[in-house]
Amino acid sequence: MKYPHIPELHRLSRIMKEALFENAYVFEKLDGGNVQVAITGEVVTHGLRSGSLRGTRAPWKEEFKRWYWTNRESIDELPDGTYFGEFLAPHTVQYKPEYTNKFFLIDVFICDALGDGFVSYERALELARPARSAMLPAPLLHKGAVTADLIEKLVNGKSEYSVSGVREGIVIKNYPLQTFAKVLRRAANNEI
């Protein structure tokens, strides 16, 4: 399954922004390799957010494979779903060594009798519990209603993960609406 494109916040209509802001989860946007672990019945696969690792030139590909095989036993215990993550390998933002080559869980997509969709942050953490030592939670910065001022403050806040302390940006999610948007640091002051 391919992870959907997350639009920049300024591209959403006023009505969509207002709806997004009502019941928001705001996460630090991590700048890593976009990866997934998909589990369907007895089949477990791993790869990029968009699909296979085969043919990719990602410099972190071998480290991600190593992470997967090192953690395969706990990953095998996960319930069916697609577990999307950011694999923090050397990329645009330099992260502290203790976070390098780690999988940060950003979303879980489930297909079940209730329908298809991304589950809430709390349910994602519960589903990933068997692999909690391998799949670190995405850094949640705020839960609840947000304003443009709060978004700007969060975008410009200090990252505990990057070496410089600078965040790449934030991702705002409204799970009931299945609406997500991002704000990049460079655009935060002009385009909220």
Query: 29 is written with which tokens?
Result: 């946007």
- 28-37 tens-digit pLDDT: 999 888 899 9
Residue 130 pLDDT more than 90? yes
Report the Cα–Cα distance between both ends of the chain, in Å, rounded: 30
pTM: 0.91
- Give percent above pLDDT 90 in the chain: 72
Band the pLDDT of 191: cuts 50, 70, 90. Answer: low
Give the CA distances from residue 174 to residues 17, 25, 26, 124, 186, in Å, rounded to whole numbers and listed in that order. Answer: 10, 6, 9, 14, 23
CA distance 47 to 68: 10
CATH hierarchy code of domain 32-138: 3.30.470.30
The overall average pLDDT reported for the chain is: 90
* 3 state SS of 16: helix
Residue 108's pLDDT band (cuts 50, 70, 90): very high
pLDDT of residue 159: 96
Alpha carbons 6 and 182: distance in angstroms, whole number: 6
Q: For position 186, what pLDDT does the model report?
A: 75
Q: What secondary structure does DSSP assign to 33-70, as a single string? A: EEEEEEEETTEEEEEETTB--TT---TTHHHHHHHHHH
Q: How far apart are CA 164 and CA 111, in angstroms?
A: 39
- Kindly indicate the confidence band of residue 58, based on its pLDDT and cuts at 50, 70 and 90: confident
pLDDT confidence of 61, banded at 50, 70, 90? confident
Q: Taking the domains of the chain in order of start, what are their residue ranges?
A: 1-30+139-192, 32-138
Produce one character per residue of 151-164: b if its CB has 16 or more CB atoms within 10 Å, e if not: beebbebebebbee
- Confidence class for position 3, pLDDT limits 50, 70, 90: confident
| pLDDT tops 80 at residue 50 | no
Question: Each residue of 10-43: pLDDT tens digit?
Answer: 999 999 999 999 999 999 999 888 899 999 887 7
The arithmetic mean of pLDDT across residues 100-108, rounded, is 96
